[in-house]
Structure 1
């Protein structure tokens, strides 16, 4: 684990939430099991293989030594998580975790929860995707003289929606089956001074009118807004389509979630619907986080199921997530409808 210890010894004081060490990328032989993330003020060390007490003690000592240099007099807060066989065991190793725990990224604020579950509320590898969405929304507004309409499928905690609305989008519709995740998404909107629909709406309920919420941000609450719909996407196409057409559709599904989404089978089902959801000239941000499926899978699926869409670019992953095989890493691709 020497490469991990070296990375800790050289790390700067983290401001935004970010990855510090990415052993999973295969660029540090012998350290493939290790990942270190910063959700300031908390560090989260994750191992994808069993770990002995001596290894944990070495990691803890390295973190403490570096922290004493970076933040003398301040207590070190760190969490360890072991992942294996689809389950996660999490331990608070030192210090404490704020409650609520709010982190920043490029000026935006997000609520996270590092002591429960494998997903902490903000996917750090998608930072460049969120940056692209924010810049797209800003450029669209400047060019068209109006804010973009955005559809965020598999929205999770709605970080893409926050990025779009902070960039100047007029409205974002967030759809996910997980009501708890959408409730966190609504809190993320509040944290950034963005208006949102009044509550998470279950299937069959009409959309609430956008209402202003408290908070501060680059625009007054009420100018921009979002809605949160707890729907099964595959049984709600009528409702989703009626809300369009959209200037940007974001699709960031799980790669494999039994009973919900399997990329090899279900991505095609979504792509068939995509042209009808997009306005002429509209863009789609398609995400795929399946190591066994490369960019060729995504581009082939679009070519077969939505031939009206043209490939524009692949959004680069954050430098901290460098991989020996970029086709194995997270894929984020931009497509455009029409000329």
Structure 2
């Protein structure tokens, strides 16, 4: 537990959404089940194993002491979430969560819901992916982007803020896309964004007709029963890429399945879309350092020849 408490004691005043402690990375023995995130003004402590009262009291004491130093006189707001299969719960431990709860990242604003479900609306480990999209869009004026498995459309916000001409956001979850629309409104980016609540695998005709695209982003769930299973469905996505990409276009391929390494993606691309050329693998945020990088998030950039 000491590594967690030390991270809290050294935490800077969070002004943007970020991870503070990543026990899941395996670099702090005994802390593998814990993470601490900042969604200002709220701290979110997540445990993947049941947390007893003594642990929660220690976290509270540490947060309270650090907050008194960082923001003297300000109220402490923190949330505890347990993700153990037998003890799933989320509760406010101190203060309150603002409604609406809007956080920032690199100047962009995003709506989050830390009390609702396991996914809070903004995947913090994908911050470098969003930065890459923003840089890429800035370097390619008029870029047309296809954002598959768009979720709450953070990639779209990043692209449009940097000057992309249009982003097509596709996700079968209408609720997530509704939040995506709100994210675009928060950033004054309502023009240029399309939102299609479609099953991607039954919508290729519409998606292809709207192309070609200078950038295709594929960020699927690692496993979602009845929707997407990476070991069999990623290939179905990749074989469509040559028809979707404009000559010289790029693909951002994401995979967050611990059991599948980057070699899996490389092999899939070689088999299903051999005209694509590997460019680079993006580094994850430093706060997500992992003792086994191949188990962590993989984000690969490819380019269509031409």
Interval containing the TM-score (normalised by the shorter chain): over 0.9
Instruction: Return the alpha-carbon distance in structure 2 between the equivalents of residues 251 and 87 of structure 1.
Output: 32
- Determine the structure 2 residue equivalent to 1:20: 20
RMSD value, Cα: 0.9
Query: Are residues 1:306 and 2:273 paired?
Result: yes
- Determine the structure 2 residue equivalent to 1:155: 150
- Determine the structure 2 residue equivalent to 1:43: 43
Query: Are residues 1:272 and 2:267 paired?
Result: no
Residue from 252, 265, 268 that aligns with 1:285:
252
Instruction: Return the alpha-carbon distance in structure 2 between the equivalents of residues 25 and 227 of structure 1.
Output: 36
Question: What whole-Å deviation, never above 9, does each CA across 1:254-292 have from its counterpart, x for those lacking one?
Answer: 000000000000000000111100000000000000001
Question: What whole-Å deviation, never above 9, does each CA across 1:206-226 have from its counterpart, x for those lacking one?
Answer: xxxxxxxxxxxxxxxx4xx10
Unaligned runs of 5+ in 1: 142-146, 196-221
Query: Normalized against structure 1, the TM-score is what?
Result: 0.89
Cα distance change on mapping 1:338 and 1:87 into 2, 3 Å:
farther
1:309-320 matches, within 5 Å, as 309-320=276-287
Instruction: Return the alpha-carbon distance in structure 2 between the equivalents of residues 276 and 108 of structure 1.
Output: 32
Give 1:87 deviation, angstroms.
Answer: 7.3
Give 1:84 deviation, angstroms.
Answer: 1.8
Residue from 173, 177, 186 that aligns with 1:182:
177
Instruction: Return the alpha-carbon distance in structure 1 between the equivalents of residues 265 and 277 of structure 2.
Output: 12
Runs of 4+ aligned residues of structure 1 deviating over 3 Å after TM superposition are none
Query: Are residues 1:30 and 2:37 paired?
Result: no
- Determine the structure 1 residue equivalent to 2:113: 113
Instruction: Return the alpha-carbon distance in structure 1 between the equivalents of residues 18 and 197 of structure 2.
Output: 29
Instruction: Return the alpha-carbon distance in structure 2 between the equivalents of residues 304 and 15 of structure 1.
Output: 44
Instruction: Return the alpha-carbon distance in structure 2 between the equivalents of residues 112 and 285 of structure 1.
Output: 24
Look up the SS of the partner of 1:15 in the other structure: coil
Query: Are residues 1:104 and 2:91 paired?
Result: no
- Determine the structure 2 residue equivalent to 1:325: 292
Instruction: Return the alpha-carbon distance in structure 2 between the equivalents of residues 326 and 71 of structure 1.
Output: 35
Instruction: Return the alpha-carbon distance in structure 1 between the equivalents of residues 5 and 236 of structure 2.
Output: 45
Give 1:22 deviation, angstroms.
Answer: 0.0
- Determine the structure 2 residue equivalent to 1:60: 60
How many pairs align? 306
Instruction: Return the alpha-carbon distance in structure 2 between the equivalents of residues 87 and 132 of structure 1.
Output: 37
Give 1:86 deviation, angstroms.
Answer: 8.5
Q: Is the 1:4–1:21 contact (alpha carbons within 8 Å) kept by the matching residues of 2? A: yes
Q: Is the 1:88–1:118 contact (alpha carbons within 8 Å) kept by the matching residues of 2? A: no
Instruction: Return the alpha-carbon distance in structure 2 between the equivalents of residues 251 and 297 of structure 1.
Output: 15
Q: Is the 1:88–1:117 contact (alpha carbons within 8 Å) kept by the matching residues of 2? A: no
- Determine the structure 2 residue equivalent to 1:260: 227
Look up the SS of the partner of 1:103 in the other structure: strand
Instruction: Return the alpha-carbon distance in structure 1 between the equivalents of residues 122 and 17 of structure 2.
Output: 9
Unaligned runs of 5+ in 2: none
Query: Are residues 1:70 and 2:70 paired?
Result: yes
